Amino acid sequence: MTYSEIEWRAMGRAKELALLGPRGINPQVGAVVLSPTGEVLSEGWHRGAGNPHAEIEALSHLSPADAHGATMVVTLEPCNHTGRTGPCAVALLEAGVSRVVYAVADPAERSSGGAERLRSHGVNVESGVRADEVTEMLDSWLTVVRLGRPFVTVKWAQSLDGRAAANDGTSKWITGPDARADVHRRRAAADAIVVGTGTVLADDPALTARLADGRLAESQPLPVVIGNRPVPRDAVLRKHPRGVLEARTQNLHQVLDDLRERGVQSVFVEGGPTLASAFVSAGLADRVLTYVAPVLLGGEKTAIGDIGVSTMAEARRLTLTGIERLGDDLLLITEPARISSDERTD
């Protein structure tokens, strides 16, 4: 990898610019144009779907003479496809840019290939500059591209013996205040929070993310209710600051496809045993958060129901990626186990 200290610093600035853009169906991208002597000529960032990409935005502030022979420093590989805007790789060639430095390759099949196109036309291209930092910034979007849908976290709270409620249906509160505060922090970090109509009718939840003092967090997830029954007009959820999205279907793939089109990158499933089981059974749980309280309830109200496992050979194996103590409770963070080729039986 060959790049200058000036280009390394410019990539740091491009990352800062990228964060000015909105999170959504398109990635956050920032760009800095440098003169042949390393002077910053212009800057740009992507301002959302339908707007010019970061590279085009940066070029728009330059005269043709200044752009010719310049270096484009950009957080994501210039795109190579025509969507609402034209290919950035072509725009850079037409502007006469002589060098392109980017951090992360575009993983999307329809838009990748910009670097190869630029190189084939004689542009000096350098990749991987501050790649770890930019990858972390783009983590949600990169995951959505890889999965083809939003990243799904399924959460439940349970007693030590695996119950989500007492036999009379009461469940407030299985876990203590530290665990509940952790849930609210994670809600605030998600783009959408998903429950079933059964939970709405039984518990009348607010589904807001709140601070320790009860005030609403600055960032609120979009509440999504899955099921054929409507949310009552007088439900507390109707007062949510983001409104409420009612998904009148049992098709979870369809729900996630719709959420992706709305720019949702992360989904927090908090809808009770029925919905949690449905996501796990469908293979749509990318992370499972299990809050375990040192309390015994017994009875039939298990934290998770039928997930299509009838024998140990069909057990859904998870990998434990983290354990956190939250007051008297434990949080177990797990993800689907990756089966190596020598463990497969098919």
Rounded alpha-carbon distances, angstroms, from residue 175 to 159, 236, 303 = 8, 22, 13
Spatial separation of the C-alpha atoms in residues 225 and 238, rounded to whole Å: 11
Spatial separation of the C-alpha atoms in residues 43 and 31, rounded to whole Å: 6
Spatial separation of the C-alpha atoms in residues 57 and 18, rounded to whole Å: 12
Verify that 51 and 103 share a domain, yes or no. yes
Verify that 154 and 202 share a domain, yes or no. yes
Both tokens assigned to 260 = 């992706």
Mean pLDDT of 12-37: 93
Q: What is the pLDDT of residue 170?
A: 79
DSSP assignment string, 211-224: -TTSPBPSS-PEEE
Verify that 330 and 231 share a domain, yes or no. yes
Verify that 27 and 126 share a domain, yes or no. yes
Q: Which of 135, 81, 84, 85 is nearest to 105 (CA)?
A: 135
- Pairing state of beta strands 71-76 and 30-34? antiparallel
Q: What is the pLDDT confidence band of residue 324, given thresholds at 50, 70 and 90?
A: very high
Verify that 28 and 137 share a domain, yes or no. yes
Q: What is the pLDDT of residue 340?
A: 43
Both tokens assigned to 69 = 């022979």
Tell me the pTM.
Answer: 0.77
Q: What is the pLDDT of residue 23?
A: 81
Give CA 99 to chain center in angstroms. Answer: 32
Q: What is the DSSP letter of 80?
A: -
Containing structural domain, residue 129: 5-144
CATH number at residue 102: 3.40.140.10
Domain count, the chain: 2
Mean pLDDT of 59-88: 89
Q: Which of 144, 172, 198 is the last residue of a domain?
A: 144
Q: What is the pLDDT of residue 143?
A: 85
Q: What is the pLDDT of residue 55?
A: 96
- The predicted-structure confidence for 307-317, as pLDDT tens digits, reads as follows 888 899 988 89
Q: What is the pLDDT of residue 9?
A: 96
Q: Which of 227, 207, 222 is nearest to 263 (CA)?
A: 222
Verify that 195 and 297 share a domain, yes or no. yes
Spatial separation of the C-alpha atoms in residues 282 and 290, rounded to whole Å: 18
Spatial separation of the C-alpha atoms in residues 289 and 322, rounded to whole Å: 10
Spatial separation of the C-alpha atoms in residues 229 and 337, rounded to whole Å: 35
More confident residue, 338 or 225: 225
How many CA within 13 A on the CB side of residue 118? Answer: 29
Q: What is the pLDDT of residue 101?
A: 97
Q: What is the pLDDT of residue 11?
A: 97
Q: What is the pLDDT confidence band of residue 342, given thresholds at 50, 70 and 90?
A: very low
Share of the chain above pLDDT 70, in %: 95
Both tokens assigned to 207 = 């589904």
Verify that 57 and 173 share a domain, yes or no. no
- The predicted-structure confidence for 82-97, as pLDDT tens digits, reads as follows 766 678 999 999 999 9
Q: What is the pLDDT confidence band of residue 214, given thresholds at 50, 70 and 90?
A: confident
Backbone phi and psi for residue 204, each to the nearest 5 degrees, phi listed first? 50, 55
Give CA 236 to chain center in angstroms. Answer: 27
Verify that 207 and 330 share a domain, yes or no. yes
3-class secondary structure, 300: coil
Rounded alpha-carbon distances, angstroms, from residue 251 to 31, 193, 208 = 40, 17, 25
DSSP assignment string, 203-266: H------B-TTSPBPSS-PEEEEESSSPPPTT-GGGG-TT--EEE--S-HHHHHHHHHHTT--E
Positions marked active-site: 55
Find the helix or strand (DSSP H, E) in which 132 lies.
Answer: helix 131-137
Beta bridge partners of 330: 292, 325
Verify that 216 and 281 share a domain, yes or no. yes
Q: Which of 109, 144, 179 is the last residue of a domain?
A: 144
Number of Cβ atoms within 10 Å of the Cβ of 59: 26
Share of the chain above pLDDT 90, in %: 66
3-class secondary structure, 147: helix
Q: What is the DSSP letter of 32?
A: E
Q: What is the pLDDT of residue 77?
A: 95
Verify that 321 and 216 share a domain, yes or no. yes
Verify that 163 and 305 share a domain, yes or no. yes
Q: Which of 77-91, 159-173, 213-227 has the lowest mean pLDDT?
A: 77-91
Verify that 126 and 164 share a domain, yes or no. no
Q: What is the pLDDT confidence band of residue 110, given thresholds at 50, 70 and 90?
A: low
CATH number at residue 170: 3.40.430.10
Q: What is the pLDDT confidence band of residue 204, given thresholds at 50, 70 and 90?
A: confident
Q: What is the pLDDT confidence band of residue 68, given thresholds at 50, 70 and 90?
A: very high
Beta bridge partners of 31: 44, 74
Sheet holding 318-326, edge to edge: 245-247, 222-226, 192-196, 266-269, 151-159, 287-293, 329-336, 318-326
Task: State the average pLDDT for the chain.
Answer: 90
Spatial separation of the C-alpha atoms in residues 261 and 10, rounded to whole Å: 32
- The predicted-structure confidence for 41-66, as pLDDT tens digits, reads as follows 999 999 987 889 999 999 999 999 99
Q: What is the pLDDT of residue 272?
A: 84
